[in-house]
Structure formats: structure tokens, C-alpha cells
Structure 1
Amino acid sequence: MTALFAVAAGVAVGNLYWAQPLLGLIAVDLHVAPATAGWLVTTTQLGYAAAVLLIVPLGDVRDRRRLLPLLSLCCAAALLLCAVAPTIGVLLVGTTLLGLTTVAGPILIALAGDLADEGSRGRAVGTVAAGLLVGILTARTVSGLLAAAAGWRAVFATAAACTVTVAVVLRRALPPLPPKAVLPYPRLIASVPAVALRDRTVRWTLATTALGFAVFSMFWTALTFLLSAPPFAYPVWAIGLFGLVGLAGAAAARTAGRLHDQGRSTAATGVAWLVLLLSYVVAAFAARSVPLLVVAILTLDVAFQTIAILNQTRILRTSHAARTRLNTSYATASFTGAAAGSALATALWPTGGWTAVTTAGLLLSTAALPLWARATRTIGRPAY
């Protein structure tokens, strides 16, 4: 069941990233500037952040055997709208709706946390999260290859077919999953911030989560602009292949889960932040070097995934009854940070290019270290 969750979550979250390698191709086809096409990533992530706040909490009060397939079918409809969009305006609407409906991943991670025992929760969450990462990176790669062969619209049409398949499989494979709580919808949504803010572990972890996703998303958004412009000027399929370098992060995600189960979460998080900072140092010198870019991508993904999994598992262990709502808070912080990172990269690129983006990444990564140190003192050493 954990393996199924990992695959389904990977397919779902991959829908958020189809457009990243396609920005240059879409800009040419729809006759807009590359910076305008960059907002496709931002609108998708903003829609996702809204969805995890308004839809994901339903996982605590609804039968997830029914909820998950329904959400997947709605996501498939949004993907089809993207596939037939005649203008950038319609495509922006489609990507926003796509973000609003692509929320199976957080619900599946919380469900994995529900079904695992205390001693293996980190491994279970890490496995499903590894599936998420593979989905993200595979989406970038497949997107580039498929667009090169059949155009960018075929990417969204194919994703719609895959998402419908996931809906059918989940409906058949999941047993009935009774709700964990009975709350009217307004009270359910109102309880999300209350559940998150009442625990200091959750508060500090959410802060570092948002910052980590901002740094990560800023890099990947800017990388598309870098690789599609001189001196590289790579075609879209070649840009997508760079995503395969980050697959090492999937192994890091599983390792991070085990570190949590062993009580080493806090120390490992600090080391990962240092590695993330070093990855931006390498990236700053990589504007004309593919080998340095590969090193930067590899270290960035390993460090980021370690931070993300340790943060998520730390949050999920604080409550059983509200685990989906806690994951709502985590996902909201994550993709709000990711949207901010994409927006920052889009804003910095026209004036400062790669130098401006990597400088901002260095500053944000450096700022995270004292924040982590403060969180360590607040959380304390035991268990977390």
C-alpha cells in the first residue's frame, strides 16, 4: 500500500511541474515574453497553496477512498483545459485550476502516517515523499521529451490520461477509510491554524519549511531561463533531462525518514541547510559550466529533500486526530514558499539574470541557519 501511495502521489504532484521546462516553448507559441510565461509556474503553486488550505483538511472528515479519486478526476479536467488553451490567459486559468485540484499528494502522505506505527512512521512518510520527488523530476524530464516530439499541448493531454488512471486504481485498491473526526466545514477550516499554532515544534518547522521551498523553487525556475538562453540555448527536451540529476534526492528522502526514526532529525536538518548553502555557492559559478550545474543540482536536491522530509515527519508525529490538517499547514507553507521563490526568480531574471538569482539564494540560505538554530533551542533535543 505504501508503494501504491508513492506512485499515486508522484503522478499527482508531477502535474504541478509539467510547465517548468516548457516556459520558453509556450512563450514562443502563444506570443508572450518568457517572463510572462514564468507566471504559469507561480499561478499553479498559488492555486495549490489555496487548495491544501481549503480541500486537504477534508481528509480528516471524509472517507478518503471516495475523496482521492474525485480529486484526481477534477485534476484531469483541469489538465485538459490546459491542453486546449488558445491564449496565455486561458492557460493561466487552467494552471490555477490545476493547482486547486492537484492535492492527492498531501492526503496520501498523511494517510501513510496514519497507517504506520510510531517506529516506522519516518520510513513510511519518507517512501511516499520519495515518490513525490520522483514524480516532480520525472514530470520535468517527460515534459521536455514529449514536447519535443508532439508539442507542449500533448504533455497536458497525456498527464490527464495518467491522472484518470490513478483515480481508477485508487478507487479499486483503497479500503473504506472512516473519517477521524466529525466537524462542519467552517469549523474544520478554522481549526487548521489553531492546530498548527498551538505547538511550538510545528510553528518553527513551518517557518523553515517555507524558506526551504522558496530557495528550491527559485533555483529551478531560473534554471529553465538559464538553459534556454545563450550560451546554452538548449532545446526543451534537453532542459528536461537536467531533472534526472535530482533523482538522488529520492534516496535522500528515504534516508531522512530513517534518521527521524533514530532521533537524529534536528542535527541532520542543520547539516542539510549547510549543504544547501554550499550548492548555491557552486551554482553562482556555474552560469557557463554544465558540470558545475550538475553538481549544484545534485547537492541542492539532496539537501532540500532531507530538510523537507525531516520537517514533514516532525510535524506529522505531533497529532494523530489532526494529521491531515497538520499536513495542510505543512503543504500551505511549502507551496506558498515555492510560489514566492518562483515569483522572485521571475522578477530578478530580467534585470540581474543568474547572478541575481544565485545571490538571493545565498542570502536566503544563510538566513535559514540562525532560524534553524533558534528552532533547535525551542524544540529541544528529545524525539524531534
Structure 2
Amino acid sequence: MDVWRRLLLAVVCGVAVASVYAAQPVLEPMGRDLGLSASLAGWIVAIGQFGYLAGLVLLVPFGDVLDRRRLIAGHLVVTAVGTAAVAVASAAWMAFVGLALAGVFAVVVQTTVAYAASASAPAERGHTIGVVTSGVVVGILGARVVTGALADAWGWRSIYLALAVLSLFLAALVLYLLPAEGRSRPPVGAGYRRAVRALGGSFREPAFLTRGLIAFFLFASFGALWNGLSLPLADAPWRLTESQIGLFGIAGLAGALGAARAGRWADAGRAIPVSGLALGLLTLSWLAIAQLPRSLWLLAIGVVALDFAVQAVHVSNQHLLTASHPDRTSSVIGGYMVFYALGSALGATTTTALFATHGWTGSSLLGAGFAVCGAVVWGVGARVRSGGVTVDRELRVERVGG
């Protein structure tokens, strides 16, 4: 796959995931405008995450039975409808409906990653996944910079209007620039049922469960930071504006893009040890993040470290799973991302509630606790033989598949 198509797929991922996370830097004004209290503001993001979870179960299996290029374009069109609905919402329930719709069809990210993995040579699969999934991080974190500026200039509704326009534009580019897949496909009905059964069967695989549980705690820790960060920064002693809060997305981007080599490390057969080191770094990053009430510089350092760790683990996990299941990449990535969605939703709802009662110290302990749990799962998975699947086998699969 050439570099321009990789970049297009990365942008698709970025815009799709931004439709779920765009509210993070503007939770306070958005919640106020929609009549929500500060303790309930986390649901603005969580609703999109629950919609995303539904899409993973219901829509992602279609990626193994339909032309993924057309599927990507169709998902982008419906995402545009959802974000446009949020932009014109006059009440919280209307915004929640739009957010849920955008969340359901934001699973275009998984179809896009599956398309990229299947269209890449085995020796380049990790690199391609690394580039494409970097778009996810850009969408989550880079959007904070853009949305903060848009909110200051034209209000938070302009963010969702811009996302709707971008989604439609990308749908047209996908149809025009990407080739249709040449793989054979079963009849839709039978193929979909088979893909759903395969998705359910993945949850009985020990290696899959290990990667999934790591992702659950990884993104719960990630969500604890990014869903709660705007609240203390907008409060005393800092009282930053939305655009100033959004600038912390640059620190997150620096860390996440610094982990771009994670795909190359995975291609070289080092995905599992890199995951363990990155989970250790994730835990340590919260020591600096917890200093937010005293130092913005230490916060920025912690943000860089956290996002480096998250991206390194995420790319490594996806490389392992797609290499070991080349015949059903959409289903296995969809199943893996169920853990991602549940973890993100947990982080989104608990961090804002905990901040309301225990301040940033409570949110920091929560995020660090999630990171420790992820490291424990990695440690157990690296040592315990379960169902005949071990780390050694996973490493052999890496080297053969990637």
C-alpha cells in the first residue's frame, strides 16, 4: 500500500474517532448549554462510546462479508448525519441521539484498519497498522487543539458541523481513490452469521482475552485523563480557556506520534515485551499527571509519556491479533475494540464523578489504578499457559505473519 493511501485511511480514522471525542475539551460549555450538571458531563462522551460498542457488535462483522471500501464510505455518510444532528440539538436528549448515531458508525475505524491490514504485505503489516492507527490518536488528541479554537471562535456547535462536512468529503475520496478489494466474499446473510459467530468465538481464546483485557484497562486509564482534564484546568488556580485547554492535545500528539515505531517493533517480533515496558511507563506517567494543581509542565510531561505508552500497546495488540487471524481481521479487531469501548466509557464516566467528590487526586489515583491492572494482566498473560496458547506461540505467529 502506498503512502498516500495510508495517509487517507489515517485521516478517515482521525475524523471518525473525533466525532466521539470532540466534546472532551468543551465538556463544561457543552454540558451547560444542554442543561447537564458537571457530574453528568462525562456522559456526553460516554454515550458515543456505548454507541461505538453497539457498532462493534452489529456492524464490524460486515467488514468480512462486504466490500470494505464501500462500507467505509457508507459509514462516513451516516457519521456525518449524527454529527450534524448534534450541531443543531436544542436539548440534551437530541444531542445524545446524534452522539449515539455517530458513535455506532464511528466503527468505520475498525473496518479501515482491517482494510489496511489485508491490503498490506505481511512484512509491512505492523508499519501500516501503526500509520493508520496514528490517525485515531490524531483524531482524539489533535481534535482537542482544533475544537478548542473553534469553540472559542464560533461555539461548540461549529465543531460538529465541521466534522459532518469532513466526513462527507472523505466518503467521496474513499470511493474515488481506494481500489475495491479483490477477495472472494460469501453470501451476505450466511457470511454475516459466520462472522458474528467468529466474533463470539474470539472471546474464548486466551490470547485474545489477554490482549482485550489489557486494552480495557489501557483505555480506561486513557479516558480517566482526557475526559477529566478539562475540568481542573478550567477551574482554579489555572482557569484556562477552551483553546488553551485544547493545546494540551499537542503534548499528547507528541507522545503518541513518538510511538509510531511501535509498528516496526511489532514487525520485528517485539510486540509483547514492548507492551510490558509501555504499561510500566503508563503507570509512572500518572505521578507527573497528578501534579496538575501545582505544575502544568509536569502535567505536560506526564501527558507525553501516557500517550506514548497507550499508542505503543495499542499498535502491538492489533498487530498480534491480525497476524494470528488473517482470514477474519474485521471480526477480531471488532472484538478487541469491544474492550476498548468499555474501558473508554468506564474512564469517561468515573473520572468526572470522582473529580466532583475527590478532586484531581482522586482522578489521578483512578487512572494509575487502571494502568496497574493492565500491567498485571500483561504479567499474568506472559507467564501462564492457558489452553495451549503462550507468549512464545504469539511471538512465532508475529514472525510468520508480520
- Say if 2:46 is the partner of 1:37: no
Q: Which of 293, 302, 321 in structure 1 is aligned with 2:299?
A: 293
Once residues 188 and 309 of structure 1 are traced to their aligned partners in structure 2, the CA distance between those partners, rounded to angstroms, is: 23
1:190 partnered with 2:194: no
Q: Which residue of 2 aligns with 1:204?
A: 210
Question: 1:248 maps to what in 2?
Answer: 254
Whole-angstrom distance in 1 between the partners of 2:142 and 2:287: 26
Q: Which amino acid aligns with 1:193?
A: G
Give me the TM-score of the superposition, normalised by structure 1.
0.96
Letter in 2 for 1:352: H
Describe the superposition over 1:314-371 as per-residue Cα deviations: whole angstroms up to 9, x where unpaired.
1111111111100101111111110111111122121112111111222222222221
Asked if the contact 1:35–1:346 (Cα under 8 Å) also holds between the matched residues in 2, the reply is yes
Question: Aligned pair 1:175/2:186, yes or no?
Answer: no
1:163 and 2:174 matched: no
**Unpaired segments of 5 or more residues in structure 2?**
none
Aligned to 1:229: 235
Partner of 1:8: 12
Flag the 1:197–1:38 CA change in 2: closer, same or farther, 3 A: closer
Output aligned runs, 1:78-157, within 5 Å: 78-157=82-161
Check the 8 A contact 1:131/1:250 in 2, yes or no.
no
Deviation at 1:198, TM superposition (A): 4.8
- Cα distance in 2 for partners of 1:321, 1:248 equals 34
1:24 maps to which of 25, 28, 36: 28
The DSSP-based 3-state class of the residue aligned with 1:317 is helix
Give, in angstroms, the shift of residue 184 of structure 1: 4.4
Q: Could you tell me which amino acid in structure 2 is paired with residue 356 of structure 1?
A: G
Aligned residues: 383
Q: CA deviation at 1:192?
A: 0.7
User: Can you list the C-alpha shifts for 1:59-82, whole angstroms capped at 9, x where unaligned?
Assistant: 100012221111111110111100
Per the alignment, residue 225 of structure 2 pairs with 219
Judge conservation of contact 1:15–1:139 (CA < 8 Å) in 2. no
Residue correspondence of structure 1 range 59-78 to structure 2 within 5 A: 59-78=63-82
Q: 1:373 aligns with which of 363, 371, 379?
A: 379
Q: 1:191 is matched by which residue type in structure 2?
A: A
CA offset at residue 305 of structure 1? 0.8
Output one character per residue of 1:275-330: Cα deviation in whole Å (capped at 9) or x when no partner: 10110111222223111110111111001111111111111111111111001011
TM-score (norm 2): 0.92
Q: Is the 8 A contact 1:181 1:321 kept in 2?
A: no
Contact kept? 1:133, 1:249, Cα under 8 Å:
no
2:54 pairs, out of 45, 50, 54, with 50
**Deviation per CA, 1:168-219, whole angstroms, max 9, x where unpaired?**
000111222256542343443232121x135332121111111101111111
1:340-359 mapped onto 2 (5 Å cutoff):
340-359=346-365
CA–CA separation in structure 2 for the residues paired with 1:33 and 1:288: 26
Query: What is the Cα deviation at residue 147 of structure 1?
Result: 0.8
Q: Contact 1:43 / 1:92 at 8 angstroms: preserved in 2?
A: yes
Unaligned residue ranges in structure 1 (runs of 5+)? none
